[in-house]
């Protein structure tokens, strides 16, 4: 495997991007605590990848969210909305204060992502549909002769759905080189651990058999995210990146704990503890 | 009973006794588990539907299918057609909408002994928002031949209905709420296919189902104080619908208001309208969700925002009184 050696500038960027990811995590905690509901676990596991994509990889313009040539992103595991909303706000798509209306009556920041929010490319929430949505966008780019890329993120629990595998077949069938997908392999779904509920086994191998270019990385390492995105540029066909992550990453009582799939910090003490641990890099 | 307070938030909803239908479901399943033929399936929502109560006691006869609702319905059918009495659970949006064709072919057309008991129906899902708030499920399920559709008014009626469907063969759909909902019944009173008279009255009949039955009672008591006599029927069986009960009400009061936490299309309101149109035409006003998706918000706040509360029923009654007098 080719070793990617970044530049000094990139090394500096990486320090900066890690700080951004911290901010994203704190906002995830604030939003869900304020809403007294929502999904911190899968947002925290996805936070580094989301931050990296929007701050270093994707060609997007916060002043022109509907720009026709922008790169697309589909958050198929739409319950990780706090993560995406936080990244979009920090990127400047809408004011950061607005995040505190999350899940409240009248707000556009719905519990699950909707494309009515500036910067959100696709509505999601019923699992198993976003990968197909991303394929549609990738096909449209081809039809229109456009060079934008389509990124997506799916969950490992979400990959229980048959529709994920239907989409896996079609992305390969149409050889969609402009499609890059992250699979958030945090090993937990709603009722518990993925391998005890419906064993997924070796997902890298499964997608490789389905014809995808596949790699496994540490989904919390900005260096590895950078490296794999560089790798992706040189692969034909759709790319599946299995990102090994920790559900609830950054907050000790949430890490690897299925209870925090859909539950914010229960009280002020836990809330403060979560913010502190994220700040100090627990 | 609270009179003069017609919106759920905040005083009313906290002043009435409320109980969880999904806990009632889990507890009922646990009791039925003594029958070794009972098998329970869930699709990665067992901690929310409370099928975990059954799982703890009878782990061998509980199957968590993962997040694959379609496959769950197909497998349920296979088990049922091998002699099992199968309960399959998920959120209402996934149990009916996601897996519709599987329910149609494998459960209904094959006439399989599968009981679909779904929780988190309607707007009261709350903060999760429109993706999870199905307001079309009763329509989807009612349209299927062989399917019977039930929507209990409270926890006690849920328990009775689970007992009933356990004893009766064939496809059933039972619609439950996420929220703890107001208690309507002090004692058992469920009869399959029959509406239940909760208040007698002569000016107008309110036919309600599920979570809005308690609202209808509050509205009825309030309207009584204003000199309007409201009959209240609890319609827990949506299919087969109680034609006789509906026509009797139409004849006796000449006006009907329906109330449901569901789209005004293809739910209780539509069914009642069909029956009176064919049998004894009177004016029917429907209270429900007016062909829009829901949104995020607190459960009872949403019910108020969409007018699905005692006040909403009072307004419909006042409108229909003017229209027909
Ligand atoms: C079709 C469908 N079925 C069920 C659900 C309910 N649900 C929401 S999140 C979730 C678990 C998702 O697990 P995973 O994809 O691993 O997400 P993550 O752990 O990354 O948060 C479930 C079952 C849903 N949203 N959609």
Structure tokens at B292: 């829009």
Q: Do A189 and B67 touch (CB under 8 A)?
A: yes
Chain A residues with CB under 8 Å of B127 CB are 35, 37-38, 103, 111
Q: What is the pLDDT of residue A5?
A: 62
Could you say which of A110, A161, A162 has the minimum Cβ distance to residue B129?
Answer: A110
**CA geometry: angle A113, A149, A261, nearest 5 deg:** 30
Q: Beta-carbon neighbour count of residue B207 at 10 Å?
A: 29
ipTM of the complex: 0.94
Nearest atom in ligand 1 to A194's CA: 16
pLDDT of residue B179: 97
Q: How far apart, in whole angstroms, are the C-alpha atoms of residue B317 and residue B217?
A: 13
In sign, the C-alpha dihedral spanning A165, A167, A170, A176 is negative
Contacts of A191 in chain B (CB under 8 A): 42, 44-47, 64
Task: Tell which of B182, B212, B239 closes a domain.
Answer: B182
Whether residue B61 is found in the same domain as residue B150: yes
Mean pLDDT of A116-132: 98
Query: Is residue B135 located within the same domain as residue B265?
Result: no
Which tops the pLDDT comparison, A8 or A258? A258
Catalytic-role residue among B69, B160, B196, B260: B69
How far is Cα A65 from Cα B233, in angstroms, rounded to an integer?
Answer: 52
CA of A158 to the centre of ligand 1 (A): 6
Same domain, B33 and B145: yes
CB contact at 8 A, A223 and A23: no
Give me ligand 1 centre to Cα B111, in Å: 30
Phi, psi of B36 (to 5 degrees): -70, -10
Q: Report chain A residues touching chain B, CB-CB < 8 A.
A: 35, 37-38, 78, 103-107, 109-112, 114, 123-128, 157-158, 160-162, 189-191, 197-198
Q: Whose CA is nearest to atom 21 of ligand 1?
A: A42
* pTM exceeds 0.90: yes
User: Between the CA of residue A260 and those of A127, A277, B115, B194, what are the distances in Å?
Assistant: 18, 16, 31, 43
Whether residue B11 lies inside any domain: the answer is no
Judged against a pLDDT cut of 70, whether residue A2 lies above it is answered with: no
Task: Return mean pLDDT, chain A.
Answer: 96
B69 classed as catalytic? yes
CA dihedral for B151, B156, B161, B162, sign (positive or negative):
positive
Which tokens belong to A258? Answer: 């299925």
Distance between Cα A129 and ligand 1 center (Å): 12
Question: Best residue in B65, B137, B296, B303 to probe A by mutation, most A CBs within 10 Å?
Answer: B296
pLDDT at A104: 98
Read off the tokens for B286: 């429907």
- Ligand 1: which of A190, A244, A258 to mutate, judged by most atoms within 8 Å of the beta carbon? A190
A125–B132 CB contact, under 8 Å:
yes
Residue B4 lies in a domain: no
**What pLDDT score was predicted for residue B5?**
86
Give the end of a domain, one of B149, B182, B215: B182
B320 and B209 in a single domain? The answer is: yes
Chain A positions touching B301 (Cβ under 8 A) are 105
- Beta strand pairing call for B62-64 and B114-119: unpaired
Name the residue with higher pLDDT: A82 or B11: A82
Q: Could you give the CA distance from residue B320 to residue B325 in angstroms, rounded to a whole number? A: 8
- Under a CB-based contact definition with an 8 Å cutoff, are residues B319 and B313 in contact? no
pLDDT score of B324: 57
Give chain B positions within 8 Å (CB) of A105. 295-298, 301-302, 305
pLDDT for position A7 = 74
Q: Tell me, what CATH number does B172's domain have?
A: 3.40.50.970
Match 């990146």 to its residue by tokens: A241
- CA distance to partner chain A, nearest, from residue B294 (Å): 10
Instruction: Find the CATH number of the domain harbouring B196.
Output: 3.40.50.920
Buried b / exposed e along B254-267 (16+ C-beta atoms within 10 A):
bbbbbbbbbbbbbb
Alpha helices in A99-258 (DSSP H): 130-143, 162-173, 194-197, 203-209, 222-232
Q: Does residue B231 share a domain with residue B167?
A: no
Answer for the pair B176, B118: CB distance below 8 angstroms, yes or no.
Answer: yes
The whole-angstrom distance between B66's CA and the closest CA on chain A is 5
Domain range annotation of chain A: 8-281
Pairing of strands A239-244, A179-185: parallel
- What residue numbers bound the domain in which B216 lies? 191-324
CATH C-level class of A8-281: alpha beta
> Do the Cβ atoms of A160 and B127 come within 8 Å?
no
Spatial separation of the C-alpha atoms in residues A186 and A96, rounded to whole Å: 27
The distance of B287 to chain A (nearest Cα, Å) reads 21
> Would you call the peptide bond into A50 cis, given omega within 30 degrees of 0 as the criterion?
no
The tokens describing B244, both together, are 């006789």
pLDDT digits (tens, 9 = 90+) for A187-246: 999 999 999 999 999 999 999 999 999 999 999 999 999 999 999 999 999 999 999 999
pLDDT band at A12 (very low <50, low <70, confident <90, very high): confident
Domain assignment present for B10: no
- Do the domain assignments include residue B162? yes
User: Which chain A residue has its CA at the smallest distance from B42's CA?
Assistant: A191
**Euclidean distance between CA atoms B93 and B119, whole angstroms:** 9
Query: Looking at the structure, do residues B220 and B320 belong to the same domain, yes or no?
Result: yes
What pLDDT sits at residue B2? Answer: 42
The mean pLDDT of A253-259, rounded to a whole number, is 98
Residues 6 or more apart in contact with residue B303 via CB below 8 angstroms:
B8, B123, B124, B211, B261, B309
pLDDT band at residue A29 under the 50/70/90 scheme:
very high
For residues B98 and B41, membership in a common domain is answered with yes
**Tens-binned pLDDT, residue by residue, of chain B (325 aa):** 444 589 998 889 999 999 999 999 999 999 999 999 999 999 999 999 999 999 999 999 999 999 999 999 999 999 999 999 999 999 999 999 999 999 999 999 999 999 999 999 999 999 999 999 999 999 999 999 999 999 999 999 999 999 999 999 999 999 999 999 999 999 999 999 999 999 999 999 999 999 999 999 999 999 999 999 999 999 999 999 999 999 999 999 999 999 999 999 999 999 999 999 999 999 999 999 999 999 999 999 999 999 999 999 999 999 999 985 5
Q: SS3 for B266?
A: coil
Is residue B225 a part of any domain in this protein? yes
The rounded distance, in Å, linking the Cα atoms of A53 and A38 is: 23
Both B122 and B267 in a single domain? Answer: no
Domain count, chain B: 2
Residues of B in contact with A133 (CB under 8 A): none
**A94 Cβ neighbours under 8 A, 6+ residues apart:** A88, A117, A118, A119
Q: How many CA atoms lie within 13 A of A109 on its CB side?
A: 26
The last residue of one of the domains, among B182, B217, B233, is B182
Q: In this predicted structure, what is the pLDDT of residue A11? A: 74
C-alpha A233/C-alpha A111 separation (Å) is: 34
Q: Are strands B172-175 and B114-119 parallel, antiparallel or unpaired?
A: parallel
Whole-number pLDDT of residue A4:
58
Shortest CA gap A110–chain B (Å): 5
Q: Distance, CA B196 to ligand 1 centroid (Å)?
A: 39
Q: Are residues B65 and B129 in the same domain?
A: yes
CA distance A276 to A222: 22
Rounded to whole angstroms, the Cα distance separating B171 from B86 reads: 10
Q: Nearest residue of A to residue B123 by CA position? A: A105
Q: Whose CA is nearest to atom 16 of ligand 1?
A: A157
| Inter-chain CB proximity B296 and A107 less than 8 Å | yes
| pLDDT classification of A10: cutoffs 50, 70, 90 | confident
How far, in Å, are A194, A252, A261, B222 from residue A44 at the CA level?
17, 12, 10, 49
> Is residue B8 one of the residues assigned to a domain?
no
Sequence-distant (6+) residues with CB within 8 A of B319 are: B285
């Amino acid at each position: 495997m080719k070793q990617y050696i970044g530049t000094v500038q990139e090394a500096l960027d990486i320090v900066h991007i890690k700080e951004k990811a911290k901010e994203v995590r704190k906002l995830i905690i604030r939003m869900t605590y304020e809403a007294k509901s929502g999904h911190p676990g899968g947002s925290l596991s996805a936070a580094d990848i989301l931050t990296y994509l929007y701050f270093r990889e994707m060609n997007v313009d916060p002043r022109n969210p509907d720009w026709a040539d922008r790169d697309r992103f589909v958050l198929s595991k739409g319950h990780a909305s706090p993560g995406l909303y936080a990244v979009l706000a920090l990127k400047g798509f809408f004011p950061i204060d607005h995040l505190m209306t999350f899940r409240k009556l009248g707000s556009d920041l719905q519990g699950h992502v909707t494309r009515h929010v500036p910067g959100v490319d696709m509505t999601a929430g019923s699992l198993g549909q976003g990968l197909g949505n991303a394929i549609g966008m990738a096909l449209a780019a081809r039809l229109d002769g456009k060079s934008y890329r389509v990124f997506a993120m799916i969950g490992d629990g979400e990959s229980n759905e048959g529709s994920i595998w239907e989409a896996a077949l079609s992305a390969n069938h149409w050889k969609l080189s402009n499609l890059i997908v992250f699979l958030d392999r945090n090993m937990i779904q709603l009722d518990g651990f993925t391998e005890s509920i419906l064993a997924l086994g070796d997902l890298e191998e499964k997608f490789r058999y389905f014809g995808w270019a596949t790699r496994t990385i540490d989904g919390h390492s900005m260096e590895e995210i950078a490296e794999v995105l560089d790798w992706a540029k040189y692969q034909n066909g759709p790319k599946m990146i299995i990102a090994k992550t920790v559900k609830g990453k950054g907050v000790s009582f949430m890490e690897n704990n299925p209870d925090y799939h859909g539950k914010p910090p229960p009280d002020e003490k836990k809330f403060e503890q979560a913010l502190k641990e994220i700040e100090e890099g627990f | 009973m609270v009179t003069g307070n017609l919106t759920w938030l905040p005083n009313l909803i906290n002043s009435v006794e409320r109980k969880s239908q999904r806990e009632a479901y889990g507890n009922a399943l646990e009791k039925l588990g003594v029958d070794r033929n009972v098998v329970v399936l869930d699709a990665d929502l067992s901690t929310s539907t409370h099928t975990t109560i059954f799982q703890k006691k009878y782990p061998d006869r509980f199957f968590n299918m993962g997040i694959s609702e379609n496959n769950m319905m197909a497998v349920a059918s296979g088990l049922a057609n091998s002699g099992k009495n199968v309960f399959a659970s998920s959120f209402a949006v996934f149990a009916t909408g996601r897996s519709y064709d599987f329910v149609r072919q494998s459960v209904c057309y094959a006439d399989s002994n599968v009981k679909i008991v779904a929780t988190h129906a309607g707007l009261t899902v709350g903060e999760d928002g429109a993706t999870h708030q199905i307001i079309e499920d009763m329509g989807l399920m009612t349209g299927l031949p062989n399917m019977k559709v039930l929507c209990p008014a409270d926890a006690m009626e849920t328990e009775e209905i689970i007992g009933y469907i356990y004893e009766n063969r064939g496809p059933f759909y039972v619609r439950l709420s996420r929220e703890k909902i107001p208690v309507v019944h002090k004692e058992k009173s469920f009869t399959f296919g029959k509406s239940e008279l909760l208040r007698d009255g002569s000016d107008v009949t309110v036919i309600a189902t599920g979570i809005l039955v308690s609202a209808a009672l509050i509205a009825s008591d309030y309207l009584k104080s204003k000199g309007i006599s409201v009959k209240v029927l609890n319609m827990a069986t949506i299919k087969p619908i109680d034609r006789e009960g509906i026509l009797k009400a139409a004849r006796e009061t000449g006006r009907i208001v329906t109330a449901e936490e569901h789209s005004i299309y293809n739910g209780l309101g539509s069914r009642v309208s069909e029956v009176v149109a064919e049998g004894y035409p009177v004016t029917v006003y429907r209270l429900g969700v007016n062909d829009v998706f829901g949104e995020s918000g607190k459960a009872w706040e949403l019910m108020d925002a969409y007018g699905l509360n005692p006040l909403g029923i009072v307004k419909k009654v006042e409108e229909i009184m003017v229209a027909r007098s």
